[in-house]
A and B are shown apart, each in its own frame.
Chain A
Amino acid sequence: MTIDITPELFASVPDAHGRFGPFGGKFVAETLMSALSDLEALYARLKDDAAFQREFDADLAHYVGRPSPLYEASRLSDAIGGGRIYLKREDLNHTGAHKVNNTIGQALLAKHMGKRRVIAETGAGQHGVATATVAARLGLECHVFMGEEDIRRQSLNVYRMKLLGAEVVPVTSGSRTLKDAMNEALRDWVTNVDDTFYIIGTVAGPHPYPMLVRDFQSVIGREARVQSLAQAGKLPAGLVACVGGGSNAIGLFHPFLQDAEVAMYGVEAGGRGLETGAHAAPLSMGSPGVLHGNRTYLMQDDDGQILDTHSVSAGLDYPGVGPEHAWLKDIGRVNYVSANDDEALAAFHRLTRVEGIMPALETAHAMAYAERLAADMSPDEHIIVNLSGRGDKDILTVAAIEGIEV
């Protein structure tokens, strides 16, 4: 694709049809179309509404605890001996991950629409917990769809959601992971569209979700930009974030897209290795197609059937990716790379031991790549890694892999 990268380009997407170049769109059953139009109209009205923004900002400040710190990981940087690594501490948010930025925003939309019930899909459980949390706070009925396989490997988050009053609905169809949870959430929404707001957890799904989730998550990058200038005296040479659906990555990247000198790296789950086929890296290895309401890169076979994915981290275990990432890949603005299960586990341990910060296994993929990247940089350069979530939820998974009984 030959395309001039101008500052205006990034503000031009999505277009009126919800498209990012050839990606995005609204590929859903007719029953949902008017609900999407209603949401689009409401959001168009509220996104520049000062009162709505004040309400959102106040919740982020007083309920979530923003701004999250930008922390220089000195011991880790010294040990690597290259560029300096800064961590954007989304793990310190209320509920322990970046997901809550978006659920706060969408819950405000649900409230404005007068919906009494919210639903969500979840993989690792972080989005489910963040949704159950805002539902508890607003007194909304909450149903979280979660694959049976993920319920097994994320039992702590399942219990957290139940404590918060949500009903966790096990999904037994297909591969029993995040993609199937999203199918089931869409089925619920079709059935209960009158009184239900679907809080999608990532920058995927039909328009306007990829846009509004991006907008809610962009607070990460806006803060990081100001903090980088204040603390390091300049913009970072690079940004690194893990990419499943891609909400934490787009949140960090988006406010920097116009800064041509800032390189960006989205790290997909390499699973057992890209060459094995057992991974969750559609941008690295997949091809364009249509799933869950949008056109994007997918892991699919020659018949257009969606393939099963594998990742040690439930939150990256998804065969698609947000359409804006697909577009950013094609225009060459962001580099999409991968880290495999073993590299992520090693990075999980290293950050825990060297900095006393235990990252989520999803986030550990970004850390693994950041270490490689920093090693080839000079000490007067720095990179920012989105430390998108904390790793408490993953300790049973890590213990099981390492044969340790807790």
Chain B
Amino acid sequence: MSRLNATFARLRSEGRQGLVSYVVAGDPSPSGTVELLHQLVAAGADVLEVGVPFSDPMAEGAVIQKGHERALANGMSLQGVLDIVAAFRQADQHTPIIMMGYANPIERFGYEMFAAAGAEAGVDGLITVDLPPEEVDAIDAALKAVELDNIFLISPTTPASRIQTIVERARGFIYCVAVKGVTGSGQLDAVEVARNVALIRSKTALPVAVGFGIKDADSARAVAAVADAVVVGSALIDAMVRVAEQDSVASEHQLHAAAAALLKSIREGMDSSPS
């Protein structure tokens, strides 16, 4: 069983909702990302989403954009992200890792080369933000050949007929985008999210993770009531940026600890009953 399927099966048997954390590989530093990922797992992450930095991350809000810029300034590359995953796997064989990025760096690397290198490094799945089903055939074949899951986004604007097309191609889980907007933006509407998740569930048995706009324990709890998993990204990066801004000599360890502390509070919020 794949790490993703095993994780969602375990969560289901425990009657819990999963927590997915997103950080950008190479931010705050390339050498610290492995440690950060381990800390996020310790703080309650069930699935790790690792951002592949891109010069033109057009679906990202300001917080994650700046994370991409810092990572690129730190010299992070797609190969560097794969190296981080391989290093993480030396100490953790169980936590699923999803890479999330944009088509061009992967296309430049070569779809088949990437799939092979990703499988070798211990990657479990891929989200390519700008490869909708219409453009996905080539990479899909490459990922399938090495049993990596191709994970698709479904947004509030996706019509029902299109949801059907997407779930037929999807593997691993469905990433349900909570708001019309970029990452980290807007106020999510729990009622609309619930409706969209229900629509997706009517068409697939795959787990549904909800992301975009989940900032804290309250919003995570609201989403966890209807979804299989909650994705938190911008808020974690923002927590690290705040520490760095308040204390210019803060250690990298302090930055990581701030992200882990926020994630832990979100985990506790999801596991407690509504206040």
Contacts and interface: CB of A to CB of B under 8 A. Distances in A.
A79 B56 CA distance: 46
A26 to B, nearest CB: 5
Contacts of A25: 134-135
Contacts of B180: 31, 190-194
Contact of B107 (A17, A289, A293): A289
A183 B58 CA distance: 5
Q: How large is the interface on A (under 10, 10 to 19, 20 to 34, 35 or more residues)?
A: 35 or more
Interface residues of B, number: 45
A44 interface: no
Interface string A260-301: 000000000000000000000000000001111100001010
A380 interface: no
B115 to A, nearest CB: 16
B81 to A, nearest CB: 10
Nearest to B158: A30
A293 B105 contact: no
A33 B132 contact: yes
A186 interface: yes
Interface in B7-28: none
A187 interface: yes
Interface in A21-36: 25-35
B179 to A, nearest CB: 8
A291 B182 contact: no
Given A34-B162, A35-B157, A28 B182 contact: no
Contacts of A293: 130
A139 interface: no
Given A31-B156, A34-B162, A304 B132 contact: no
A290 B134 contact: no
A306 interface: yes
Interface in B143-192: 152-159, 162, 166, 177, 180-182, 185-186
B261 interface: no
B104 A289 contact: yes
B129 interface: yes
Contacts of A303: 77-79, 105, 108-109
A290 B166 CA distance: 21
Interface in A182-236: 183, 186-187, 190-194
Contacts of B60: 187
Interface in A134-183: 173-174, 179-180, 183
Contacts of A302: 108
Contact of A305 (B54, B65, B153, B177): B54
A186 B58 contact: yes
Given A304-B78, A304-B104, A30 B154 contact: yes
24 contacts: A17-B134, A27-B132, A27-B135, A28-B132, A30-B153, A30-B166, A30-B177, A33-B132, A34-B157, A34-B159, A173-B69, A174-B56, A183-B58, A187-B58, A187-B182, A191-B180, A191-B185, A290-B102, A290-B103, A290-B104, A290-B130, A303-B109, A305-B55, A305-B72
Interface of B: 54-62, 65, 69, 72, 77-79, 102-109, 129-132, 134-135, 152-159, 162, 166, 177, 180-182, 185-186
Given A25-B134, A30-B152, A289-B107, 17 more contacts: A25-B135, A27-B135, A29-B130, A30-B155, A31-B180, A32-B157, A174-B55, A174-B56, A174-B69, A183-B58, A186-B58, A302-B108, A303-B78, A303-B105, A303-B109, A304-B108, A306-B55
8 closest A-B pairs (Cβ-Cβ)?
A304-B108, A304-B105, A31-B155, A191-B181, A290-B103, A305-B55, A30-B153, A304-B104
